[in-house]
Structure 1
Amino acid sequence: MPLYEERKKDEPLKMGEVGVDLKLMIDELDSVEVPSVFICPISLEPMQDPVTLCTGQTYDRSNILKWLSLGHKTCPTTMQELWDDSLTPNTTLSHLILTWFSHKHTAMKKSLEDIQGRALHLLDTLKRVKGQARVRALQDLRELVGSHSNARKALEENGGVALVFSLLGPFTSHAVGSEAVGIIVGLDLSYDQLKGSLMHPAKVSLLVDIMNEGTIDTKMNCAKLIEMLLVEGSNEVVSSLSLLVGLLRLVRDKKHPIGVVSTGLILLKAIVCSHESVRISVISLGGIPLLIEILPSLNNECLEVALYILEVLSTLEEGGMALKECPNIIPNVVKYLMRVSERCTQFALSILWAIYKLAPEECASQAVEAGLAAKLLLVIQSGCNPVLKQMSSEFLKLCSLNYSTSILISKCMLTSTIQ
């Protein structure tokens, strides 16, 4: 809602306009804590036209009139019977309310003007300065845009977005690039705006370099920006080996909160799912043993994403071979069956299936020793989806080919249930 227009100094304040002006101010100051004496006991909203009953209680005129129109003959607050239903305007309180909101509104307008002016000043500064002065200006602008919607609006309406994008180029320092990316991810930009400004090899290369060498906040910002660029599968981004290296570093990071790993996993999932050539690159870069290594440290949400990526990679022959070569891969995957979620169980079973196709006897033996048969029986007996049950049943039959019935039953540790 636009700010209410200031009156000319010589224009008198008409009584008929007070309510309108006050309503606009109340609406625009809805996040401000209002003194309780200004609040109507009926609506719990600021009063615009306070009136007092014979009981001495004050209400907003429209609210008390509604109360009386419903046939009530009592005061809503005290429940005293009204011996006089006349409403007396509380002019003193009305003046106090209008004055209080006017002062607050004027202060808000000045603050907003200061914020917008500060944003415009920083934009002008960015056009003139270079080096460390440019970095400082970007830092100030990033903080301002991140804290105030009016600063973002000033940026968008005065060519600031294009200016920030123009700072990303082949000769941009990582310090400038990091701050520019931090500003961009804080804006509500469309895919077309991003594509038009960033889909150039030099800028994509810079973005990847910044992510690989920046601070952890910068890495996360770059990952978010790249994810935004993947809306329609931009080949300029996903074909970058340095990007994949940077993502695997992000996923492996052990020094920072799980949110960092989650950001890397989500972006890696988006890339791996859409391009087969990228899957081969991830496998060749050692992505599979890395993911297997970090599985025990992941929370349930990240674990599901990591298992999904491994399942996708396992559909390639190279992926199956890489999985097979991981130490203790089968017992490590078996333990995730029926542990976290139905989706995790399905992903883990698909991974085991890919290994089984390459080495049936070895896989079946290790899997049963790790408790696979018992887990499969639990899946079959549970309320899981029919596809997962069918997969479990078929896998159990394949495992049984390598064991006698009595040995398989003893491995299940569910003898009474099976019999």
Structure 2
Amino acid sequence: MVKEDLCITIPSLFRCPISLDVMKSPVSLCTGVTYDRSNIQRWLDNGNNTCPATMQILQSKEIVPNRTLQRLIRLWSDSVCERVNSDEFPAENSVPSKDQVVEIIRDIESMNLNRLDSLSKFVRFAEESEENRKFLAKLEGFLPMLVRFLDNVDGEVSVRIEFLEQVVRISDLVLSKLEDSEQLKNLMFKSQSNCLASLLLVLQQGSTDSKIASVRVLQSVAIDAESKLLIAGKDGLITELVTIIMPENDQALIEAGLSCLISISIPRRIKIKLAQLGAIKIFSKLLSESNSSISISEKVLKLLETVSSCKEGRSEICEDPVCVPAILQKALKVSFMATEHAVTILWSVCYLSRDQKAQEAVTKANGLTKILLLMQSNCSPAIRQMSADLLKIFRVNSKSCLSCYDTKTTHIMPF
């Protein structure tokens, strides 16, 4: 029996009605139709309220795992693996060898191979091991091929999104293994490149995992002032990054979005843009969330510190009634790094800007006690000096309990 004679018949019940691939995580809608979870979730996330197969209006968007079908698919897959010689006829979801990867790259354009299927093989190969990711990162022509795919995508929207999702996933997997950190940036930011438009499309319409991968790719190319400004100059990109850090989103997605914003927010015009887009209010909500992780709190405070270095950012922080109290709430409670960010922000709005609203907010939130405690802690000289500057501001305030307290001392004993 030769390879061409072998075939596997996939039961139609096992195929997702959207992708026509074997379902990995079958879930059912209220209409009784079963889909693969990632495909139907993408359909619903795009704002659709109908069943794709029947076009019936959904009375509920709840999806229920189809455990019975999942067990049947697993049994069928196991039986196929037992019957088929993997060397002669690799299973549909098998991991390709290094030689096969090289062959796919060589033939993917010249022989008009199915690019989506080829990218899926690359993803499986990269996910298999760190050694495979290093192999792809060093493979000649692989990274330029991915950038060409990002730059030149056509076809139906649903197909384009699915294709781009695979491109950003494989790009994210190999990024940390690149020997030349500027290679991807130089390829993506060539003249008239559409790569940023493709990454934005994934952020707008992709799955959560794909959005995270897209954000990481953006962060990896934001390595100098020019690239940061190019990213900020792409219409809708900063807006989408601000949208994905909303508190109701996935925690991993929020953290990735915050990391990317930290990377690109050094230029003054980007700080101003963040203030204009209402990012301060979102930062305040994230700080006020009881379930925010230490990492998210640190990143939010870092961004607030960055934005507070411009007049527009300080103004937005002072105008938001929640922001300063939320900053004080996290001071001394999260980490040493978070505390230093918090003091720097308070110094910017209370001492540098001398904003009356911010000063009153600190007083009402018992911020003076925290500043005193901080000065007695093992903080850095710069933070101790900022704390002393803050106490001087409140010392001249007739409402402050420190109206006659000398802040020049190095060891504070307020009681």
TM more than 0.5 = yes
Q: Match of 1:197?
A: 187
Give the distance between the partners of 2:119 and 2:197, measured in 1 at CA. 21
Larger radius of gyration: 1
Give the distance between the partners of 1:180 and 1:283, measured in 2 at CA. 32
Give the distance between the partners of 2:208 and 2:240, measured in 1 at CA. 12
- Deviation string 1:340-388 (CA, Å, 9 cap, x unpaired) is 2333223222322333355644433332221112111111222222222
Give the distance between the partners of 1:407 and 1:192, measured in 2 at CA. 53
Moved more, 134-143 or 317-326: 134-143
- Deviation string 1:221-252 (CA, Å, 9 cap, x unpaired) is 11111122122341432322422122112222
Give the distance between the partners of 1:151 and 1:418, measured in 2 at CA. 58
Runs of 5+ consecutive residues of structure 2 not aligned to the other structure: 1-85, 155-159, 405-411
Alignment partner for residue 214 of structure 1, among 206, 211, 215?
206
The answer to which structure has the higher helix fraction is: 1
C-alpha distance 360-243 of structure 1, shift in aligned 2 (>3 A): closer
Give the distance between the partners of 2:322 and 2:255, measured in 1 at CA. 25
- Deviation string 1:108-163 (CA, Å, 9 cap, x unpaired) is 9xx99961343245435632447xx4322311221123215458637854644433
Alignment partner for residue 241 of structure 2, among 235, 243, 247?
247
Give the distance between the partners of 2:400 and 2:185, measured in 1 at CA. 61
C-alpha distance 398-213 of structure 1, shift in aligned 2 (>3 A): same
- Deviation string 1:81-118 (CA, Å, 9 cap, x unpaired) is xxxxxxxxxxxxxxxxxxxxxxxxxx99xx99961343
Higher RCO (C-alpha 8 Å, min separation 6): 2
Q: Match of 1:272?
A: 265
TM-score (norm 2): 0.64
Give the distance between the partners of 2:308 and 2:260, measured in 1 at CA. 18
Say whether the 8 Å CA contact 1:361–1:402 is kept in structure 2.
no
C-alpha distance 341-151 of structure 1, shift in aligned 2 (>3 A): closer
Give the distance between the partners of 2:122 and 2:98, measured in 1 at CA. 11
- Deviation string 1:161-195 (CA, Å, 9 cap, x unpaired) is 43333222243422212212222222223234313
Q: Match of 2:384?
A: 389
Say whether the 8 Å CA contact 1:115–1:150 is kept in structure 2.
no
Give the distance between the partners of 1:331 and 1:227, measured in 2 at CA. 30
1:4-403 maps to which residues of 2 (within 5 A)? Answer: 115-123=97-105, 126-127=108-109, 128-129=111-112, 133-148=114-129, 149=131, 153=135, 157=139, 159-172=141-154, 173-187=160-174, 188-189=177-178, 190-200=180-190, 201-233=193-225, 234=227, 235-252=229-246, 254-256=248-250, 258-273=251-266, 275-297=267-289, 298-356=292-350, 358=353, 360-403=355-398
Q: How many residues align?
A: 301
Say whether the 8 Å CA contact 1:207–1:222 is kept in structure 2.
yes
Give the distance between the partners of 1:361 and 1:370, measured in 2 at CA. 14
C-alpha distance 379-370 of structure 1, shift in aligned 2 (>3 A): same
- What's the CA shift for 1:271? 0.5
Give the distance between the partners of 1:390 and 1:151, measured in 2 at CA. 47
Q: Which amino acid is 1:138 matched to?
A: L
Give the distance between the partners of 1:218 and 1:113, measured in 2 at CA. 21
- Deviation string 1:229-285 (CA, Å, 9 cap, x unpaired) is 1223414323224221221122225242x3222211111001112x11111111111
Residue aligned with 1:186, SS: helix
- What's the CA shift for 1:287? 1.1
Give the distance between the partners of 1:385 and 1:283, measured in 2 at CA. 29
Say whether the 8 Å CA contact 1:365–1:402 is kept in structure 2.
no
RMSD: 3.2
Q: Which amino acid is 2:125 matched to?
A: L
Q: Match of 1:41?
A: none
Moved more, 369-378 or 182-191: 182-191
Give the distance between the partners of 1:203 and 1:405, measured in 2 at CA. 55
C-alpha distance 114-397 of structure 1, shift in aligned 2 (>3 A): closer
- What's the CA shift for 1:408? 7.0
- Deviation string 1:311-351 (CA, Å, 9 cap, x unpaired) is 11112111111111212333222222222233322322232
Say whether the 8 Å CA contact 2:147–2:187 is kept in structure 1.
yes
- What's the CA shift for 1:301? 2.1
TM-score (norm 1): 0.64
- What's the CA shift for 1:214? 1.2
Q: Which amino acid is 1:186 matched to?
A: L
Give the distance between the partners of 2:312 and 2:204, measured in 1 at CA. 26
- Deviation string 1:49-102 (CA, Å, 9 cap, x unpaired) is xxxxxxxxxxxxxxxxxxxxxxxxxxxxxxxxxxxxxxxxxxxxxxxxxxxxxx
Say whether the 8 Å CA contact 1:223–1:264 is kept in structure 2.
yes
Say whether the 8 Å CA contact 1:323–1:329 is kept in structure 2.
yes
Say whether the 8 Å CA contact 1:241–1:281 is kept in structure 2.
no
Percent identity between the aligned chains?
19
C-alpha distance 150-278 of structure 1, shift in aligned 2 (>3 A): closer
Give the distance between the partners of 1:365 and 1:211, measured in 2 at CA. 40
